[in-house]
């Protein structure tokens, strides 16, 4: 997934769309919007980022899960099998992006890129809802997917690549 930080207005619709689509319990969220302000008035620079699980290629959460509940699913999406999760919290501690939380029902929960929607050919609900259409989703191995095209044409960055997890959430800058 790629998020255009120049188109995002920080409305947080993606957060509400996700909470509604995935019945996220009240008080929790699977995605969130970060506002970064650089400089001193009047020379300020603003960056808005809609953040979520980075579905890393080298996921520390998958590595440290003692039961294999956290695993790579279709297309490299990182998913937790709820009835295999023992709620030990190792994956929550292992995530440098702090993208996971413990669901009140006991298992650990996080963004799934709306795998249940993607399987039906739909877009993740945050992408589908975004009023400025600032998010691009698709298969990075397919050169014609919207996300591949954006990454070809635009400058981008990932968050803390130095953590060594090979994050797959790209921010267009």
Structure tokens at 140: 């990075």
Looking at the Cβ atoms of 39 and 143, the one nearer to another protein is: 39
Sign (positive/negative) of CA torsion 20, 27, 15, 152? negative
Q: Which stretch binds another protein (CB under 8 A): 25-33, 112-120, 127-135, 146-154?
A: 25-33
Looking at the Cβ atoms of 102 and 128, the one nearer to another protein is: 102
Give the Cα separation of 89 and 121 in Å (integer). 33
Task: Kindly state whether residue 65 participates in binding another protein, applying the rule CB under 8 A.
Answer: yes
Give the Cα separation of 127 and 149 in Å (integer). 16
Closest CA to 53 of 107, 115, 8: 115
Task: Kindly state whether residue 64 participates in binding another protein, applying the rule CB under 8 A.
Answer: yes
Looking at the Cβ atoms of 48 and 118, the one nearer to another protein is: 48
- Residues 6+ away with beta carbon under 8 Å from 107: 69, 80, 82, 83, 85, 87
Stretch 108-147: interaction string toward another protein, x if CB under 8 A: x---------------------------------------
**Strand pairing partners for 32?**
51
Q: Which residues form the interface with another protein (CB under 8 A)?
A: 10, 12, 15, 27-29, 31-40, 48, 60, 63-69, 83-90, 92-98, 100-102, 105-108, 159-160, 162-164
């Amino acid at each position: 997934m790629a998020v255009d930080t120049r188109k995002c207005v920080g409305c947080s619709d993606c957060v509400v769309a996700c909470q509604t689509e995935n019945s996220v319990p009240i008080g929790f969220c699977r995605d969130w919007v970060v506002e970064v302000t650089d400089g001193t008035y009047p020379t300020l620079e603003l960056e808005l980022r809609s953040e979520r699980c980075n579905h890393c290629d080298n996921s520390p959460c998958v590595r440290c899960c003692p039961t294999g509940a956290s695993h790579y699913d279709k297309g490299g999406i990182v998913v937790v099998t709820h009835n295999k999760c023992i709620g030990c919290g190792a994956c929550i501690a292992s995530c440098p992006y702090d993208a996971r939380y413990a669901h009140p029902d006991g298992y650990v929960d996080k963004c799934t890129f709306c795998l249940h929607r993607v399987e039906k050919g739909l877009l993740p609900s945050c992408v589908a809802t975004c009023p400025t259409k600032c998010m691009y989703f698709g298969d990075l191995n397919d050169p014609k997917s919207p996300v591949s095209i954006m990454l070809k044409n635009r400058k981008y960055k990932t968050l803390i690549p130095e953590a060594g997890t090979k994050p797959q959430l790209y921010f267009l800058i």
